Amino acid sequence: MIPLLSLLLACGDSGEDSGSTDALCQDAPVVTWEYWGQGFLTESCQSCHASTSADRNGAPASVTFDTEAQVWTHRDAILATATGAEPTMPPRGGPSPDDRDLLEIWLRCWLEEP
């Protein structure tokens, strides 16, 4: 019983040890643009980053997440600003740690060049 429990705990931990993409992606839930991704961006980012935003609050016109292809283009910058230990996007916070984990899983494990 004890060995099985520690194995389960070790598996549960792997997603937070972001040092290795393999550890992150092994057994990770499926996250795609259609399933979760677009909805998350709409809720958390598009008030400033959509091409149709009425007030971008200074978000650069080039950093827009209307399509999966645009997310692919900005993949590294999104990982750098919206995931990890000290995210800076959105500027006033908002997304839960779980959502930030899903964002990282989507971008690192599932997103492909369109």
Kindly state whether residue 63 participates in binding ligand HEC, applying the rule CB under 6 A.
yes
- Per the structure block, which two tokens stand in for 50? 């959509």
Shortest Cβ distance from residue 29 to ligand HEC (Å)?
Answer: 18
Burial of 54-74, coded b for 16+ CB within 10 Å and e otherwise, reads eeeeebeeebbbeebebbebb
Sign of the four-CA dihedral 54, 60, 62, 66? negative
Kindly state whether residue 69 participates in binding ligand HEC, applying the rule CB under 6 A.
no
Q: Are 42 and 64 within 8 A, CB to CB?
A: no
Shortest Cβ distance from residue 98 to ligand HEC (Å)?
Answer: 13
Shortest Cβ distance from residue 2 to ligand HEC (Å)?
Answer: 40
Identify the residue among 82, 102, 105, 107 touching ligand HEC (CB under 6 A): 82
Q: Which residues of this protein are in contact with ligand HEC, per CB under 6 A?
A: 44-45, 47-49, 57-60, 63, 74, 77-78, 81-82, 89-91, 95
